[in-house]
Structure 1
Amino acid sequence: MELRHLRYFVAVAETGSFTTAAEQRLHTAQPSLSRQIRDLEEEVGVDLLIRGARGVELTAAGQAFLEHARGTLAQAQSAIDAARRAARRLKPVFALGFLTGQEIEWLPEAMRVLRDELPKIEVTVSSQYSPSLRDALVKGDLDLAFMRPEPNVPELEYRLVVKEPLVVVLPSDHPLAACEKIALQQFIGETFIIVSHTAPTVRTVIDEFVLQSGLDIRASYEVDNLAMAVSLVASTRGLALLPCYARNFLPSSLTSRPLAVESPTIDLVIGYSRANTSPILSLFLSRIDHLLARCRSIAAENQASIA
């Protein structure tokens, strides 16, 4: 008796039809299925099914056999799952985190660093707010994250990737879209959309920039993420100050412009725990200079395109 015999029997018992079981559950020919069930009944030594005009019914022996057949198949699947989990654990896991939206730009760069190691390791990727990435690094749930430098976390080490300038995001047909650059004074009287404290580093930079200008510019809306910012700019025809990577996610109905003054910048860093002894992390960090050089070259090109 083989597991396939049990699978065939359970499929026929549950569907009540050789035809349905063959075509929809087992994807095999009905004559082959009927032959397999006959072989099973011969091995068991009793009839398990009653074949009639209205379909298939279980005999009393078939009812008893069905319960044990299901249990055996479940145990077999559990054994398979356990073996696969054990095999996966043989590979070291390297857990990467990204500030939501940044993975599109920086995940390929990170994977390029690990290219030679990829056959030997399992890489997991998560996308979260920067404070959540901070917590995951401290707990050991992540090995490394592309994030904002979160203050007052002595357990973490940061290395600068790029300094991202703020840009103005606005509707493509907004009157200010005709300007090559936008002065902060032009925000006065406009709907101003600002990030909430879910992104505390970005919010602090924007608040300080507006405060130092001495202008009476107040936010009309606060948004928790980039998708909300894009949606509100489109629906309210307002203006938003966002890190320049937001340009990668703008639909054709929105555009971006640089500020007329020197733009404040927001650091994007890689963060990791000082206590993390992962050999994959050590390897990644040993190769980080090449990655950072590439990142800064890309950033320089992006800033040149903004200017």
Structure 2
Amino acid sequence: MVSTDKNQSTAVMIILLGFSDYPELQVPLFLLFHIIYAVSVAGNVGMILIIKINRKLHTPMYFFLSHLSFVDFCYSTIVIPKLLENLVVEEKSISIKDCITQFSFGITCVMTEMVMLAVMAYDRFLAISYPLLYTVSMSPKLCSLLVTVAYSWGIISSIILTYSLLVLSFCGTKIINNFVCEYSVFLSAACSDKHISELIMFIVLNLNTFCTLIIILTSYLFISVTILKMHSANGRYKGFSTCASHLTVVTIFYGTILFHYCIPNSKNSWLVVKVGSVFYSVVIPMLNPLIYSLRNNEVKETLKKLMDFKIISQ
């Protein structure tokens, strides 16, 4: 239960300023984010449907990709509608309970995506380093287990971080120079001691980030060694090409998060912080399906067949 002052138990509100400092950009930003959201939904849902329809894509790699697309769809749906609303309404407030709810679902998606990216790196490692044993090693049962682990860890992490917020006291109305309910928003709005909450956040976020990053880097280290040992130039090209989409997504995702959290929360850096927040919470869920579809021949062929079928049916 969220703690509040007795006289203000029902009046705890957070005002997310968002991009209020730039009133002339409200309408252009609304249109831009609306387009990004539409592309993100179409791309991620389309990716799931394509993988479902095409039997050739019923492989571990695409099984994990479909779940990555689902997580991206959920995350953009959690964040962007509220962002769009704040761009067109004068009252930009959100109750502390609604803000915590948005954070809880959002951090579940972020933590799940980190683990999913690590799982996908492990999958590429097995596929390239042990191709003859890949089908047996990456069995449907193991695939389901790894996906379950990803979702479970995302939920567990969210419960821990959300609980660390629920024990804080909030009072009155807090004006926050952001557009999304991040952990820093609650720490800024808290009226009670927040050292324990900060410690929990530090441990959980860093544990999740660096553990998954170590798995990814280790997997790609062994992948690189295996590819470089190949005598055929064509084989090396195919090996690197197989990993290109995933490696691009990982670089953008972790690069943005690390850059975002390394910026000090000073007044001069708030614009950069908000741009970073926009990129990892709005742009990345749109980029992921585009990166995979543009660099994947099987997905492009399926899209072409669907378009041809649509034209013929008309």
TM-score range, shorter chain: under 0.3
The higher relative CO (CA closer than 8 Å, separation ≥ 6) is in: 2
Higher strand share: 1
Q: TM-score, normalised by structure 1?
A: 0.21
Higher helix share: 2
Q: TM-score, normalised by structure 2?
A: 0.21
**Structure number with larger C-alpha Rg:** 1
